Chain A
Amino acid sequence: MEEMVRIDLRAGTHRFESLPEAYRFLGGRALTSRIVSDEVDPTCDALGPSNKLVLAPGLLSGTVVSSSSRISAGAKSPLTGGIKESNSGGNTGWRLAQNGLRAVVFEGRAEQWQIVIIGKGSLTLEPAGDLVGLDTTETAARLFERFGKKAALAIIGQAGEQLMNVAGIANTDPEGRPTRLNARGGMGAVMGSKRVKAVVVLDPGPNVTPIMFDLPAWRSESKGYVKEIATSPAIDRYRKIGTAGTLELVNKLGGLPIRNFSRGQDAATESITGMQMAETIKARGGQNSHSCMTGCAIQCSNVWVDEGGKEVASSMEFETNTLLGANLEIFDFDAIAQFTRNCNALGVDTIETGGAIGVAMQAGLIKFGDVEGVLDIFRQMREGTVLGKLIGAGATTVGRVLGVREVASVKGQVMSAYDPRVIKGNGVTYATSPMGADHTAGNTIGAKLDHLDPKGKVELSKEFQITSTILDIFGFCNFARAVYGTSAANMRAMFEARFGEPMSEADVRHMALTTIRTEVAFNRKAGLGPATDRIPEWMREQALAPHGATFDVPDEELDRIWDTD
């Protein structure tokens, strides 16, 4: 039986429910957004008791088939004021699906901080006790000591406890590092607002998987998909150089955020390229290929070590290296690794935090390039000083408070490492995704075409947004996109093997479009009208060097993106 569980934190009770028929073929983002849309008042206070936090693995999650057990966290976002789905790796999605759960819904607000312990058919709430106030690393260490290393954890750090908009939910990787975040949109703040410090998902025993309608078909179809992963050159790049190799490409294209999105290219980025990273990790004895979840064969993750070979941070990602590096004019991997470590421990989104610090630097609060100044900001966030809380509110709030107009955000969420004046398809994604300026909703950088030309970028972004949504619904990592062209049929056949129902190409597309339209409708009711589906005006005015580019995709085109199938 397919189940979901609801936790009423105010009453301290829970209820297992069989999955309603209408939700049977919804997973990941489709399920979180549907539950939020069905049950949450769009005008509610995102940090109040009537918001709900939903965790949902994908439709095909729960086995060790490569990169198939992502976890979606959904709620009304305190950052954007609209609906949010934030996607993460780690082992939470796998363990939840193994335990037969398609969704966990957190309702209300507890009097005291709680931990939630989930097993097969069981759920226990316990006072969080002395875990409160601890960072994610220490929290994970104590929970593993008690529940064993095979459990998966979803936890918040001090940022989530302080209800910061930059707070994410940290999920543990196979070695137990709490470094895989549902990062974007303040999902950690929503978890904190419910007073849930941690979710522990127990190991149900060896080789437990969800019940398969046709196990032999599942095995053969998943083999086809895994074979694609094993032989794809694009996947091989992820394995060798992670996501960090995107930096040299975006820098050469002239669309890399430098100095709070004021330049698109800088020769100094040579010291933080993907190839530099991979070589340094190799020379120091770190790990260039690492799986963030059990079974992932793409292994885009990595482990950065210091000169003495001691682990500092996992994982060094392109977007982090840009927002906490180039955007702050800090071209030093050891510094960026320290920042990443701090972000993971606090449990915050590296993109929003880096964006917020960049705006603070532009205001002159600290100098661009000031490594010690950034480390001090992390200390202040931990301690909850006024400055720490200001950065924790995100880039848009920092801009308002400090009088900086040049904030690269949409719906209050800062853009990622692709300046929309140059990577215009991503500009369309930032503007039109119901998620706000979130590149993971439809990242067009992989398209080999002229990114500066505004023509055709609405269609390009739309197709990328649809594919990303499909992958999120199935539970596949977005990096499986590299083999989606050759594996889409395998994925649909895996669905049929799992559920015994046919799934056509048109069905999958319909599922994705329905999800996006449901989210847009929620946003409209929440007060986010078409005027919020816009790239900020200053990016249409201020030209970006070296191309002298502005964002010039017409608004009317943006407004029509979801009108047709």
Chain B
Amino acid sequence: MGHGLTIHLEVYLPFREQRLWRGDETVPDGMTAGALPALLGLTEPELAVLVNGRYVPPETPLRTGDDVAVLRQAEGGA
């Protein structure tokens, strides 16, 4: 307890110097899906945070080994 938990993280962000970041990341215990973008310094509006390939409620706590992807939300095309 207290040493944080390690997640596998992918961040997709266009128009930033590093447009795709991928790797293991240690985050504080109790970190939630909804609070993660702020922790990572991501301020883009309407980000999508997927945990193990699914949307989860923002208050969902992350667990060690989770596959987390942060992307821009998208609405699809025609």
Please give me the residue from chain A that is nearest to B54 by CB atom: A450
Closest to B53 in A: A254
* Contact A317 B73, CB 8 Å, known A233-B45, A452-B54: no
Known interface pairs A275-B13, A275-B19; A237-B54 also in contact (CB < 8 Å):
no
| B74 engages A450 (CB within 8 Å) | no
Q: For the complex formed, measure the closest distance between the CB of B7 and the CB atoms of chain A, giving whole angstroms.
A: 14
Nearest neighbor of B78 in chain A, beta-carbon distance: A440
Residues of chain A within 8 A (CB-CB) of B14 are 240-241, 245, 274-275, 278-279
Instruction: Give bound CA distance, A249 to B77, whole Å.
Output: 13
Q: Which residues of A contact B76 (CB under 8 A)?
A: 243, 246, 318-319, 417-418, 439, 443, 445-446
By beta carbon, the residue of chain B nearest A181 is B78
Q: Determine whether the beta carbon of A446 is less than 8 Å from that of B75.
A: yes
Q: Which of B20, B54, B75, B78 contacts A317 (CB 8 A)?
A: B78
- Those of A455-498 within 8 Å (CB) of chain B: 477-479, 481-482
A253 to B71, CA, bound (A): 11
Q: Which of B18-66 contact A (CB under 8 A)?
A: 19-20, 45-46, 48, 50, 53-56
A449 to B73, alpha carbons, bound, how many Å? Answer: 12
Q: Is A547 in contact with B19, judged by CB distance below 8 angstroms?
A: no
Q: Which residue of B lies closest to A236 (CB)?
A: B45
Q: Which residues of A contact B15 (CB under 8 A)?
A: 240, 275, 278
Contact of B46 with A253 in the complex, beta carbons under 8 Å: no
**B78 close to A243 (CB less than 8 A):** yes
Residues of B within 8 A of A254 (CB): 53
> In angstroms, how far is the closest chain B Cβ from the Cβ of A259?
18
What's the least CB distance linking B33 to chain A, in Å? Answer: 11
Using an 8 Å CB-CB cutoff, how does the interface string of A365-383 with B read, 1 for contact, 0 for none?
A: 0000000000000000000
Most buried by A among B13, B71, B72, B78: B78
A419 at the interface (CB under 8 A from B): no
Instruction: Bin chain A's interface residue count.
Output: 35 or more
Write the chain B residue with the least CB distance to A282.
Answer: B15
Chain A residues within 8 Å of B71, by CB = 248-249, 252
Q: Does A146 belong to the interface (CB within 8 Å)?
A: no
A242 touches B55 (CB 8 A): no
Chain A contacts for B50, CB-based, 8 A? 252-253
Q: Would B78 and A241 count as touching, CB distance under 8 A? A: no
**Option from A243, A253, A270, A451 in Cβ contact (under 8 Å) with B77:** A243
The answer for the CA separation of A219 and B74 in the assembled complex, in Å, is 30
Distance of A300 Cα from B74 Cα, bound (Å): 12
Given A245-B14, A452-B54, does the pair A237, B77 have CB atoms closer than 8 Å? no
B48 engages A246 (CB within 8 Å): no
Per DSSP, chain B at the interface is loop
Taking CB atoms and an 8 Å cut-off, the chain A residues in 225-254 that contact chain B are: 233-234, 237-238, 240-246, 248-249, 252-254
Query: Chain A contacts of B19 at CB under 8 A?
Result: 275, 279
Q: Which one of A270, A279, A446 contacts B74 once the chains associate, using CB atoms below 8 Å? A: A446
A-chain residues with CB within 8 Å of residue B77 when the two chains form the complex: 242-244, 246, 300, 317-319
Interface size on B, residues (CB 8 A): 24
Instruction: Please give, as numbers and ranges, the residues of chain B lying within 8 Å of A546 by CB-CB distance.
Output: 53
| B55 and A445 within 8 A (CB) | no
Which residues of B are found within 8 Å of A446, using beta-carbon distances? 73-76
A478 engages B74 (CB within 8 Å): no
A424 to B14, CA, bound (A): 28
Is B55's CB under 8 angstroms from A450's CB? yes
Q: Which residues of A contact B75 (CB under 8 A)?
A: 234, 238, 243, 246, 443, 445-446, 479, 481-482
A245 to B74, CA, bound (A): 6
Q: How far is the CA of A418 from the CA of B50 in the complex (A)?
A: 17
Docked complex Cα distance between A507 and B75 (Å): 26
Complex Cα distance A87/B72, Å? 27
B68 to A, closest residue via Cβ: A252
Q: Does A273 contact B (CB under 8 A)?
A: yes
Complex Cα spacing A246 to B10, Å: 16
In whole angstroms, what is the CA distance A461 to B17 when docked?
38
- The verdict on A448 contacting chain B, using a C-beta distance below 8 Å, is yes
Task: State A318–B77 Cα separation when bound (angstroms).
Answer: 6
Minimum CB–CB distance for B8 against chain A, Å? 12
In the complex, which of the residues A237, A417, A482 contacts B72, with contact meaning CB atoms closer than 8 Å? A237
Select A451's contact among B46, B55, B74, B78, beta carbons within 8 Å: B55
Name the CB-closest residue of B to A446. Answer: B75
Give, as a whole number of angstroms, the nearest-CB distance from A454 to chain B: 13
Closest chain B residue to A249 by CB distance? B74
Contact flag A448-B73 (CB < 8 Å), given A270-B20, A279-B14:
yes
Q: Contacts A241-B72, A275-B14 given; indicate if A252 touches B53 (C-beta within 8 A).
A: yes
How far in angstroms is the closest Cβ of chain B from A439? 7
Most A CB within 10 A of own CB, among B50, B53, B73, B75:
B75
Binding site for A on B (CB under 8 A): 10, 12-15, 19-20, 45-46, 48, 50, 53-56, 69, 71-78
Q: Offer 14 A-B interface pairs, CB within 8 angstroms, sorted by A.
A: A241-B72, A252-B10, A252-B69, A253-B54, A254-B53, A275-B15, A278-B15, A319-B76, A319-B78, A445-B76, A446-B75, A448-B48, A479-B78, A482-B75
A contacts, CB < 8 Å to B: 87, 89, 233-234, 237-238, 240-246, 248-249, 252-254, 265, 270, 273-275, 278-279, 300, 317-319, 417-418, 439-440, 443, 445-446, 448-452, 477-479, 481-482, 546-547
13 more A-B residue pairs beyond the given contacts A245-B74, A440-B78, with a C-beta to C-beta distance below 8 A: A240-B14, A243-B74, A243-B75, A270-B20, A319-B78, A446-B75, A446-B76, A449-B55, A450-B54, A451-B55, A479-B75, A482-B75, A547-B53
**Which 5 pairs between the two chains have the least Cβ-Cβ distance?**
A243-B77, A275-B14, A446-B75, A233-B45, A246-B74
